[in-house]
Amino acid sequence: MIIHCDNCNQIIPADNINLDNLIAKCDACNSITSFADNIKPNSLAESQPQASQPSCIKIDQSSHNFRMSKRWFNSGYVFLLIFSLFFGGIPLLILIQNILEATQDGSAKNIEVKGILFLIPFFLIGACTFYSGITGIINRTTFTLSPEQLRVQHGPLPWWGNINLDPAQIKQFHVKKSSVTVNDQPRYNVLAEMLDGKEHMIAPRVEEKGYAYFIEQTLEQQTGISAA
């Protein structure tokens, strides 16, 4: 495909083409040309190179059905876990100390109810943050594919987003940039688009675009679905 500058009609070199944003920069007149209207819907998918397998993704070759798992762990979860221990642990210690001091005489009359109510939200936020951190360190997302179903499970600690899909009803897999960023770094979602038009999230907030593309391409190969 040859792209001509809209301003001066010169051919734009391939090095000046941005496939992510569907724009190209002309060296001759320094203008920007958009070619989004001139590209076929499946051209970008075909141009996406085969992603290499990252170390955080394992494929179980011994399983009777296809089985692939992605580890959640990254250093951000360690920071989250440490933060939660301070944010929720200190209020919890203060709360326990107040209760013990107030009940030393065998009565709970001296317990400051307002103080306890003030500390409880901090403890609950810390507990939720702690659980998010510990799941990020321990959990994996596992994709199990059989002729009857594609099962997506998060565990071993309970987490939402588990889903079972009928492979025969999947139209395509694709990657979308997530609205969520972590430390100003983008995250990517892998979705399954069904024949009825519905989309299901199967790998949310993947930390690297290459990781997301590897999941997408591997599932396409295993299900026999062509990139669209």
Successive 10-residue mean pLDDT values, the chain, 228 residues:
78 79 84 71 55 91 85 86 82 73 59 68 85 93 93 94 94 90 86 94 92 94 78
Q: Count Cβ atoms below 10 Å from residue 48 Cβ, excluding itself.
A: 14
- Among 148, 172, 176, which Cα is nearest to 226's? 172
- Residue 150's Cβ-side half-sphere holds a number of Cα atoms within 13 Å equal to 26
Which sign does the torsion angle of CA 26, 29, 34, 35 carry?
Answer: negative
pTM (2 decimals)?
Answer: 0.67
Whether the CB-CB separation of 213 and 223 falls below 8 Å is answered with no
Which DSSP string do the residues of 166-207 spell out, in sequence order? Answer: -GGGEEEEEEEEEEEEETTEEEEEEEEEETTS-EEEEEEEES
> Burial level of 86, CB count in 10 A (0-12/13-18/19+)?
exposed
Give the pLDDT score at 111. 57
Planar angle of CA 200, 203, 208, nearest 5 degrees: 135
Q: Which tokens belong to 136?
A: 């990020």
pLDDT reported for residue 102: 65
